[in-house]
A = this chain, B = another copy of it.
């Protein structure tokens, strides 16, 4: 894949340096952030362009990781100051995660300015980041054809209005169970899914982690169990990896077709299952498209009723 090719998919999100502790290990200063996971995952299917910001402290070794995935970095701004940092700890069995610290640093004043080549790209994934920044990126895309957006509890709490107006501009909203209940006030997931469809998107992609995902649309409901993971080492970024893989697959096909969206979710689940087998982007950096196709094939067998 040529480095000068225009990106097929624009991904905005956080880029950061994480310190993560699991019951088995502690890994300080590893590459993280929603845009990092999503771009790496999408890169197996298309050329993603990353929109984000890092500080002048952002090490060359991290840039080399991005380059190894052939991520277009023209949209990655480098600003005076420190890179976004996050640290968290997973409790026994990885069932619960506690955030220890969050330092926005250069993200506090992030003002995304898209390169010209990015503005014509019709496929956009607004990964988890403040809704105002998601709006700002979308405003600069000339003719968006498929807009996927993710969010988190924090924005439902502190930026509900901006989030709701963003959701109205989105084709596929990805959201997890507790966030969907928080956003809609509805406990039953079918009720919550229907309520979110009425907010604007044609598709609601409900993420249930190890329990899989559900897609709501006017065509009804699609149910997808997660690819079962036996080597869980770090669940950080699994949702970003899932959505990034899904977005990358659709951008590759240049498709918004409902049946391609279902297939894209299956690829997203496969990518996420690889991603959690190691910290940071380590495992994604070891696999090839062939590994992905092999796992996708065994996955389809696991889902076959007859």
Give me the interface of A with B, judged by CB distance under 8 Å: 93, 187-191, 208, 211-212, 214, 220-225, 228-230, 232, 259, 262-263, 266, 298, 300-306
Whether B306 lies near A259 (C-beta < 8 A) is yes
Whether B232 lies near A228 (C-beta < 8 A) is no
Enumerate chain B residues within 8 angstroms of A301, measured Cβ to Cβ: 220
Can you identify 8 A-B contacts, CB atoms within 8 angstroms? Answer: A93-B187, A212-B225, A214-B225, A222-B303, A223-B302, A224-B305, A259-B306, A300-B305
Whether B211 lies near A212 (C-beta < 8 A) is yes
Whether B259 lies near A220 (C-beta < 8 A) is no
Interface of A is mostly: mixed
What is the oligomeric copy number?
Answer: 2
Nearest B residue to A221 via CB reads: B302
Nearest B residue to A208 via CB reads: B211
Enumerate chain B residues within 8 angstroms of A190, measured Cβ to Cβ: 228-230
Task: Please measure, in the bound complex, the distance between the C-alpha atom of A211 and the C-alpha atom of B262, giving whole angstroms.
Answer: 19
Within the complex, the shortest CB–CB distance from A301 to chain B, in Å, comes to 7
Task: Please measure, in the bound complex, the distance between the C-alpha atom of A304 and the C-alpha atom of B258, giving whole angstroms.
Answer: 12
Whether A263 lies near B302 (C-beta < 8 A) is no
Within the complex, the shortest CB–CB distance from A135 to chain B, in Å, comes to 32
Nearest B residue to A211 via CB reads: B211
Decide: A222 near B302, CB < 8 A? Known: A188-B230, A230-B191.
yes
Whether A303 lies near B302 (C-beta < 8 A) is no
Whether A305 lies near B223 (C-beta < 8 A) is no
Enumerate chain B residues within 8 angstroms of A304, measured Cβ to Cβ: 222, 262
Whether A303 lies near B306 (C-beta < 8 A) is no
Whether B262 lies near A305 (C-beta < 8 A) is yes
Within the complex, the shortest CB–CB distance from A75 to chain B, in Å, comes to 33
Within the complex, the shortest CB–CB distance from A7 to chain B, in Å, comes to 27
Whether B225 lies near A302 (C-beta < 8 A) is no
Task: Please measure, in the bound complex, the distance between the C-alpha atom of A222 and the C-alpha atom of B305, giving whole angstroms.
Answer: 8
